[in-house]
Amino acid sequence: MNLKNTILLSFKWIFICVLIGIFSGSASAFFLVSLEWVTQFREHNNWIIWLLPVGGLYIGWLYYKYGTTVVKGNNLLLEEYENPQKTIPFRMAPMVLISTLITHLFGGSAGREGTAVQMSGAIADQFTTYFKLDNSDRRTLIILGISAGFASVFGTPLAGAIFALEVLYFSKINLKSSVLSFVVAYIAYFTVEILQVKHTHYSIPEVPEISVNVIWYSIAVGIVFGLAAMIFSRTTHFWGRLFAKTIEYAPLRPFVGGLILVIAIYLMGTTKFIGLGIPSIVESFSTANTPYDFLLKILFTGFTLGAGFKGGEVTPLFFVGATLGSALSVVVPLPIALLAGMGFVAVFSGATHTPIACTVMGMELFGIESGVFIGIACLVAYFASGSVGIYHSQIVKGAKYKLYQRFKRKNLADF
């Protein structure tokens, strides 16, 4: 390829990045503003939670009637990256947006990253047709979509770029995709900033000196966070399988699930475990949580998503990790904010098999001073969480994969 063609190709991909970044960032900004509105409306009108079964029925019917090709959500992006077949239908974007807002409006427990990533992935993949790209370039577009969605919805462009690369099996990704992932992440991030949509800010005011004891404590809590990630992933998959097995007609699954959730919320007398749970996450950095809060969030989120409601898993994972870390501060002699921050990203690391992205995210959110402890917790949680993550279509490779394969072979040999 001569210099002229190289320059033209570079400008072409920069142009694609700008388009994806602006469109995805704008979509995320609209989503974040809408999500805040429906959350505030629900908080001031708790009676609306009784309509959760109706909202679930509508979501189920919507996907049954019009969304059978996109119902896999994030897993569809992973599958199309691994084995490209056909362009992701654009309808994925508005359908997941509407369904997620309905889920949060009526009181389901879900996150937001899945929605942003699916919207951005669907937007990005449309450029396959416009620019007549081949399957190799389609893989790049999917990376750009995931990167833009993640970076814009959380305000963490470095982590968003690395997450897109890491979650899609790093060794298959070329230099072009890596560079463009960072470019589009920052474009999407600054698009949200220009539109003046704010993200939640967290801080870790006290970071201890590095010592042998502190490192051992970091490893110990990392194991606990990894086990929490394992429970979260397996619980979500369990409820999904159970609903699919027991209720044949798909639209009825979220209706029945919504009915059970409404009854559970009423009997518990609290709305703490529905929605994103941002106030509880923020509070966990300064006040010790009860030791069962993280388990209840796992139960509510796994049940909500397993029943067929839409949203993401990552913010609930933040809730689980932060509240668990906060609760551990009663018995672990580390600052409560540090433990909450470590749990915040470490449980996410274990559930998505992305320790590098989660470490970077922790430093972006909490400051580089806590980076060593966050890195230890994320790496240990990654190994301690088992081989099953929240994305069942994710191809798990690398050190963790090799470790588990060696463990399996040894057990078979001993047997």
User: What is the 8-class DSSP label of residue 287?
Assistant: S
Q: Are residues 243 and 186 in the same domain?
A: no
Domain stops at, among 194, 223, 256: 194
Task: Locate 68 and state its tokens.
Answer: 């059978």
Residue 205 belongs to some domain of the structure: no
Q: Are residues 235 and 87 in the same domain?
A: no
Residue 329 belongs to some domain of the structure: yes
398: left (phi > 0), else alpha (psi -120 to 50), else beta? left
* Residue 1 binned pLDDT confidence (cut-offs 50, 70, 90): low
Residue 279 belongs to some domain of the structure: yes
Helices H / strands E in the chain, number of each: 18, 0
Q: Are residues 236 and 159 in the same domain?
A: no
Cα 316 from Cα 57, distance rounded (Å): 23
Residue 405 belongs to some domain of the structure: no
Cα 310 from Cα 321, distance rounded (Å): 21
Residue 412 belongs to some domain of the structure: no
- Sequence-distant (6+) residues with CB within 8 A of 272 are 280, 293, 296
User: Concatenated DSSP letters for 382-397?
Assistant: HHHT-S--S-TT----
Q: Are residues 224 and 373 in the same domain?
A: yes
Q: Are residues 241 and 149 in the same domain?
A: no
pLDDT in tens, 209-221: 999 999 999 999 9
Cα 237 from Cα 53, distance rounded (Å): 21
Is a pLDDT exceeding 90 seen at residue 2?
no
Residue 199 belongs to some domain of the structure: no
Q: CB of 323 within 8 A of CB of 280? A: yes
- Sequence-distant (6+) residues with CB within 8 A of 192 are 25, 28, 29, 32, 152, 155, 199
Q: Within a 10 A sphere around the Cβ of 176, how many other Cβ atoms?
A: 15
Find, among 116, 89, 103, the residue nearest to 31 by Cα: 116
Residue 148 belongs to some domain of the structure: yes
Q: Are residues 175 and 276 in the same domain?
A: no
Is a pLDDT exceeding 60 seen at residue 354?
yes
Q: Are residues 106 and 227 in the same domain?
A: no
Mean pLDDT of 245-267: 95
Looking at residue 154, which CATH number applies to its domain?
Answer: 1.10.3080.10
Find, among 334, 335, 319, 109, the residue nearest to 225 by Cα: 319
pLDDT in tens, 148-168: 999 999 999 999 999 998 888
Residue 298 belongs to some domain of the structure: yes
Q: Are residues 144 and 223 in the same domain?
A: no
Q: Are residues 281 and 368 in the same domain?
A: yes
Q: Are residues 241 and 343 in the same domain?
A: yes
Q: Are residues 264 and 292 in the same domain?
A: yes
Mean pLDDT of 180-185: 93
Q: For position 402, what pLDDT does the model report?
A: 59
Domain stops at, among 133, 160, 194: 194
pLDDT in tens, 14-25: 999 999 999 999
Is a pLDDT exceeding 70 seen at residue 404?
no
Q: For position 400, what pLDDT does the model report?
A: 59
Cα 124 from Cα 172, distance rounded (Å): 20
Domain stops at, among 134, 161, 194: 194
Q: Are residues 190 and 220 in the same domain?
A: no
pLDDT in tens, 56-104: 999 999 999 999 999 998 899 988 988 888 899 999 999 999 999 999 9
Number of domains in the chain: 2
Range of the domain at 297: 212-399
